[in-house]
Amino acid sequence: MQAAIETFALSKVFGEIQAVHDLTMSVGAGEMFGIVGPDGAGKTTTIRMLCGILAPTSGTAKVLGLDIIEESDRLKRQIGYLSQRFSLYGDLTVDENIEFFAGINGVDDFREQRDALLEFTRLTPFRDRLAEQLSGGMKQKLALACTLIHTPSVIFLDEPTTGVDPVSRRDFWKILQSLLKGGITIVMSTPYLDEAERCTRVALMNQGSAMKIDTPAGIKKAMRGEVCEIVCDGIREGFALLKVHPAVREVQAFGDRLNVIVDRAYEALPVVESALRTRGIRIATSRVIPPSLENVFISLLTHPVAGDAAA
Choices 3.30.70.100, 3.40.120.10, 3.40.50.880, 3.10.290.10: CATH for 224-290: 3.30.70.100
What is the structure's pLDDT at 188? 94
Q: What is the pTM (predicted TM-score) of this model?
A: 0.86
Third-level CATH fold of 3-213: Rossmann fold (3.40.50)
What is the structure's pLDDT at 86? 63
Give the three-state DSSP class for 141.
helix
Segment (H or E) for 72: helix 72-76
Range(s) within the chain of domains with CATH label 3.30.70.100: 224-290
Task: List per-block mean pLDDT (blocks of 10 residues) for the chain, which spans 311 residues.
Answer: 91 95 95 93 95 95 95 92 80 92 86 89 92 88 89 92 80 86 92 89 94 94 93 95 96 95 95 96 96 92 59 39
249 secondary structure, DSSP code? S
Return the closest-CA partner of residue 64 out of 133, 2, 13, 126: 2
What is the structure's pLDDT at 272? 97
Question: How far apart are the C-alpha atoms of 44 and 41, rounded to whole Å?
Answer: 8
134 secondary structure, DSSP code? S
Range(s) within the chain of domains with CATH label 3.40.50.300: 3-213
Alpha carbon dihedral 145, 151, 156, 162, in 10-degree steps, equals: 10
